[in-house]
């Protein structure tokens, strides 16, 4: 990938961008989680055990803030110019999910409201961003997934329509 700043052009291998993005995301998350846990404890923001949870002790909320921050910052820093169009819609969808999860951590959000927010995030990415899964590479026996605005077809590895 080439980065151009006025007159200077720098080539950075894609594998280096991926590793750098992963490490920056890891470090941001690693350093921010203890701070967020401390804030959650000070404010009494706990997820208490109930029939739907897997933990047995009260667990501090807001861990998604650290993960969201790490992913967004590393994505913006290391994605490059080529992915700018797609990235803005992916980030918009992630922001919708982030605020929905933040509200759910602090207050109770009804399941239908969660589903509506998730549908909105999906709508932003798929309709406005025009981003779709085009190939499953043999996962579940599915290869290329054909897409037509008139007729949506799913082709398996063997080329038969499902």
Residues 88 and 124 in one domain: yes
Beta-ladder partners of 46: 60
Distance CA 76, CA 59 (A): 31
Total structural domains within the chain: 2
Residues 16 and 88 in one domain: yes
Residues 124 and 136 in one domain: no
Pick the closest to residue 60 from 78, 22, 33 (CA basis): 33
Residues 38 and 111 in one domain: yes
Residues 113 and 159 in one domain: no
Residues 30 and 78 in one domain: yes
**Domain assignment of residue 160, given as a range:** 132-162
Output the CA angle 132-148-135, nearest 5 degrees.
Answer: 40
> What is the tens place of the pLDDT at every residue in 45-93?
888 887 777 888 888 888 899 999 999 999 988 886 666 788 899 999 9
Residues 54 and 112 in one domain: yes
Pick the closest to residue 74 from 94, 45, 104 (CA basis): 94
User: Residue 52's pLDDT is what?
Assistant: 74
How sure is the predictor about 94, in pLDDT bands with cuts at 50, 70 and 90? very high
């Amino acid at each position: 990938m080439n980065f151009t700043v006025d007159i200077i052009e720098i080539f950075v291998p894609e594998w280096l961008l991926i590793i750098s993005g992963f490490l920056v995301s890891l470090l941001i998350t690693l350093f921010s989680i203890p701070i967020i846990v401390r804030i959650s404890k000070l404010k009494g923001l706990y997820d208490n055990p109930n029939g739907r949870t897997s933990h047995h002790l009260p667990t501090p909320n807001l861990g998604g803030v650290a993960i969201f921050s790490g992913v967004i910052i590393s994505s913006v820093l290391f994605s490059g110019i080529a992915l700018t169009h797609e990235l803005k819609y992916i980030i918009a969808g992630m922001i919708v999910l982030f605020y929905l999860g933040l509200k759910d951590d602090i207050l109770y959000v009804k399941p239908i409201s969660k589903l509506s927010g998730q549908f909105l995030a999906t709508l932003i990415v798929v309709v406005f961003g025009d981003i779709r899964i085009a190939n499953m590479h043999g996962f579940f026996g599915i290869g290329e997934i054909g897409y037509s605005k008139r007729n949506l077809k799913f082709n398996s590895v063997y080329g038969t329509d499902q």
